């Protein structure tokens, strides 16, 4: 699997003849009738040169580019074409000899261990390779808990450096193609992670008009210079961050300027180094030249001046809007307009393009029932790289979106796509977070396990395949578990022991689950995780016990968990519909009483009547109304809104 990063590049080859057709610019085309026809005509024309249609075109025979095409007999119109780099990041992990020679930045070292708990150095190191660059996980000579992911090009030069805290001394690297992440595992199995997109280095793009280089001090004490391990740059100065010291931005600017001049890419920008992280990533850019779409005289003059004036560069780099950029330039005596800025950026993607929020349109993971809606960006703000204002579009942040679900679904108050709720008068319909009601990987930290639990881990809910083990049927008025034909008995021996019931609105089936607090009585495959205890016992004794709530009894079945569906995200909700829910007492199959005690569904007295009707319809006759016996709801002490109805017989209205 590959991670594609789309970049609009500043292609810096002058369009002077057919031999230069690889550059951006005008291309002769057949006649273009109108704007509606432009894309269909220009798309294939630009594609012929490995470019894309930028959106601008002309069929005016007096326009010089069009006239040139007509005079040469190559077309009757022109298309504006632009280059894109769809850089496909495709990381792999290789095992490399530890003795491999590297340019190692000051303060770092190459330490690879044999395993997470080993103190012995390995003869090999895991290394990530992506698009021709090698990424080594280096540690620090001061043994801090951190790693530097350092990128090397084919010549062994350092072209990228990412510092991460949380792990040291690499021993393993894992690539996750689904999440598009890379995990660097260090001592004691501590991990630091990167996204695939973090690996993008400008050298990966076509044309190499922009490139990264990393420099660092030759020494962290006394007199020092900036170096890339091969050559020193700028003026030597005392190591430190004060004025006229090596980390003074003016001194650092001078070093970056010299490096980029040597690379024939004179525009430069760099990251500020610090005492604790004395490393500077310098980005060098080859400026556009007259004849290219991104060439703008005012912007070129401004940036030419900024390369030689750190205060001007700092002022420009701090601008985060066109207005701020124009003001910063004006404060230094340079006049630019929004049109100048727009031209220097090159073609910009449509503001209505689809961008990824957490899920995007066309994805199988959005828009469906129980999923987050798909998002369509309606307004975006773009950041350009390496400067805020030009020259390559790095990423766009969506600041306004519209959201939609698949046909027939709508967004509920929790932001989840659901079918329009059709909750019948005799039903209770509630939305619950799936993650909290069914979860085989619960912890106290993720709020699945209750804080009173004596274990840090738990499972929650009745598995889909186990639900039938809790279904009951009646024979001659007595309640039996259908799967085993055994009489139902409520647990005794503790005030926390009770029997939960739910009546599933999908098919009117009744399920009874004995619980001790939240610990369940094992039936069928509803057992602990990693430990199997006998049927009929409580999961309370397990290291990872299974618990349930009223909602958890049905959630596994409704959400299809633990199979065939994968565990959803922590915000996904599911509607559960029941006829009723509460607690019930059963002795040798005989029901003694029933309540509407369910904090999840909060049934009313009318709902309790519906539950009673469902039990009577299933085969238990001894609930009112029966003969002269009517409902006699007794308030349950200490529980507001909770009522109990005793079973009755026709002789005295109570058993």
> Which of 481, 564, 495, 475 has its CA nearest to residue 523?
481
In sequence order, the 6+-apart residues with CB closer than 8 A to the CB of 23 are 11, 12, 13, 14, 15, 83, 292
Confidence of residue 389 (pLDDT cuts 50, 70, 90): low
In this structure, the number of other CB atoms found within 10 A of the CB of residue 642 comes to 22
What tens digit of pLDDT does each residue of 555-577 get? 999 988 887 666 677 778 888 99
The 10 Å CB-count burial string (b at 16+, else e) for 266-289 is: bbbbbbebeeeebbbbbbbbbbbe
Cβ neighbours of residue 212 under 8 Å, at least 6 residues apart?
151, 159, 160, 201, 202, 203, 281, 282, 283, 284
250-262 tens-digit pLDDT: 999 999 999 999 9
3 state DSSP class of 601: coil
CA 526 to chain centre: 32
The pLDDT value recorded for residue 58 is 81
Average pLDDT over residues 532-547: 94
> How confident is the model over 479-513, as pLDDT tens digits?
999 999 999 999 988 888 999 999 999 999 999 99
Higher pLDDT, 402 or 626: 626
Cα(566)–Cα(587) distance, integer angstroms: 39
- Mean pLDDT, residues 520-527: 95
User: Residue 22 burial by CB count (10 A; 0-12/13-18/19+): exposed, middle or buried?
Assistant: middle
Within 8 A by CB and 6+ apart from 584, the residues are 490, 499, 500, 501, 512, 591, 593, 594, 595
Is the confidence at residue 35, as pLDDT, over 70?
yes
Q: Are 429 and 420 in contact (CB under 8 A)?
A: no
Q: Taking residues 426-455, what's their average pLDDT?
A: 90
Q: Determine contact, residues 170/147, Cβ cutoff 8 Å.
A: yes
Q: Cα separation of 191 and 621, whole Å?
A: 62
DSSP-assigned beta bridge partners for residue 500:
513, 583
Is residue 182 within 8 Å of 196, Cβ to Cβ? yes
Question: What is residue 19's predicted lDDT score, i.e. its pLDDT?
Answer: 22
Nearest alpha carbon to residue 140 among 230, 220, 221, 200: 220
Give the lowest-confidence range in 195-204, 287-296, 375-384, 454-463. 375-384
**pLDDT reported for residue 350:** 35
Task: Tell me phi and psi for residue 278, to 5 degrees.
Answer: -85, 50
Q: CA 101, CA 114: separation in Å to the nearest integer?
A: 20
Which position has the higher pLDDT, 541 or 549?
549
Per-residue pLDDT tens for 327-355? Answer: 989 998 999 998 888 888 765 433 333 32
pLDDT at residue 363 tops 70 = no
What the block records as the tokens of 612 is: 């009673």
Does residue 208 surpass a pLDDT of 80? no
Contact 91, 182 (CB under 8 A): yes
d(CA 410, CA 403): 10
What mean pLDDT, rounded, does the chain reach?
A: 84
Confidence at 170, pLDDT banded by 50, 70, 90: very high
What pLDDT score was predicted for residue 37?
A: 81
User: Given a cut of 50, is residue 579 above it in pLDDT?
Assistant: yes
Q: Minimal CA–CA distance to 555: which of 435, 418, 451, 448? A: 435
Q: What is the crossing angle of helices 322-331 and 338-345, to 10°?
A: 110
- Res 84: pLDDT: 55
CA dihedral 326, 344, 288, 133 (to 10 degrees): 110
User: Distance between CA atoms of 393 and 8, rounded to whole angstroms?
Assistant: 6
**Beta carbons of 149 and 194 less than 8 angstroms apart:** yes
Q: Kindly report the number of other CB atoms within 10 A of residue 99's CB atom.
A: 9
Is the full-model pTM beyond 0.95?
Answer: no
């Amino acid at each position: 699997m590959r991670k594609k990063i789309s970049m609009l590049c500043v292609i810096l080859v002058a369009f002077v003849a057919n031999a230069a057709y690889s550059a951006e610019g005008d291309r002769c085309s057949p006649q273009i009738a109108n704007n509606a026809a432009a894309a269909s005509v220009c798309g294939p024309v630009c594609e012929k040169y490995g470019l894309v249609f930028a959106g601008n075109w002309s069929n005016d025979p007096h326009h010089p580019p069009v006239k040139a095409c007509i005079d040469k007999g190559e077309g009757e119109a022109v298309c504006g074409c632009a280059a894109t780099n769809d850089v496909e990041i495709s990381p792999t992990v290789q095992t490399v000899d530890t003795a491999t020679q590297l340019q190692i930045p000051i303060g770092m070292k190459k330490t690879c261990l044999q395993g997470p708990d080993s103190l012995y150095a390995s003869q090999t190191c895991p290394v990530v390779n992506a698009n021709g660059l090698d990424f080594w996980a280096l540690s620090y000579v001061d043994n801090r808990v951190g790693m530097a992911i350092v990128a090397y090009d084919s010549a062994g030069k350092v072209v990228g450096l990412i510092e991460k805290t949380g792990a040291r001394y690499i021993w393993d690297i894992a690539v996750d193609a689904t999440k598009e992440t890379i995990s660097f595992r260090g001592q004691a199995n501590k991990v630091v992670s990167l996204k695939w997109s973090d690996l993008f280095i400008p050298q990966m793009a076509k044309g190499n008009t922009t490139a990264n280089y990393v420099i660092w001090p030759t020494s962290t004490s006394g007199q020092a210079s900036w170096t890339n391990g091969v050559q020193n740059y700028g003026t030597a100065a005392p190591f430190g961050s004060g004025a006229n010291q090596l980390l003074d931005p003016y001194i650092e600017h001078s070093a970056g300027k010299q490096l980029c001049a040597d690379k024939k890419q004179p525009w430069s920008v760099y990251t500020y180094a610090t005492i604790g992280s004395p490393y500077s990533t310098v980005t060098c850019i080859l400026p556009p030249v007259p004849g290219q779409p991104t060439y703008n005289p005012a912007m070129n003059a401004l940036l030419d001046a900024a390369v030689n004036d750190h205060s001007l560069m700092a002022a420009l780099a701090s601008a985060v809007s066109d207005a701020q950029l124009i003001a910063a330039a004006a404060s230094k005596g340079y006049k630019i307009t929004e049109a100048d800025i727009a031209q220097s950026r090159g073609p910009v993607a449509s503001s209505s393009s689809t961008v990824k929020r957490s899920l995007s349109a066309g994805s199988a993971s959005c828009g469906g029932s129980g999923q987050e809606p798909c998002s369509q960006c309606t307004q975006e703000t773009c950041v350009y790289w390496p400067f805020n204002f030009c020259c390559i579009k790095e990423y766009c942040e969506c600041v306004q979106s519209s959201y939609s679900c698949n046909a027939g679904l709508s967004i509920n108050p929790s932001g989840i796509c659901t079918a329009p709720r059709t909750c019948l008068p005799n039903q209770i319909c509630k939305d619950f977070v799936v993650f909290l009601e069914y979860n085989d990987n619960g912890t106290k930290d993720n709020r699945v396990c209750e804080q009173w639990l004596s274990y840090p881990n738990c499972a929650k809910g009745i598995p889909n395949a186990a639900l039938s083990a809790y279904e009951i049927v009646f024979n001659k008025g007595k309640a039996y578990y259908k799967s085993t034909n055994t009489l139902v008995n409520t647990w005794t021996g503790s005030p926390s022991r009770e029997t939960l019931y739910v009546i599933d609105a999908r098919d009117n089936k009744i399920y009874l689950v004995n619980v001790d607090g939240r610990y369940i009585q094992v039936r069928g495959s509803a057992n602990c995780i990693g430990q199997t205890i006998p049927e009929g016992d409580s999961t309370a004794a397990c290291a990872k016990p299974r618990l349930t709530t009223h909602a958890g009894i049905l959630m596994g079945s409704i959400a299809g968990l633990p199979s065939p569906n994968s565990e959803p995200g922590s915000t996904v909700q599911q509607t559960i519909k029941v006829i009723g829910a509460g607690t019930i007492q059963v002795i040798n199959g005989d029901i003694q009483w029933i309540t509407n005690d369910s904090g999840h569904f909060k049934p009313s007295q009318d709902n309790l009547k519906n539950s009673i009707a469902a039990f009577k319809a299933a085969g238990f006759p001894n609930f009112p109304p029966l003969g002269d016996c009517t409902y006699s709801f007794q308030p349950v002490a200490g529980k507001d809104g909770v009522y109990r109805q005793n079973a009755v017989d026709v002789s005295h209205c109570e058993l």
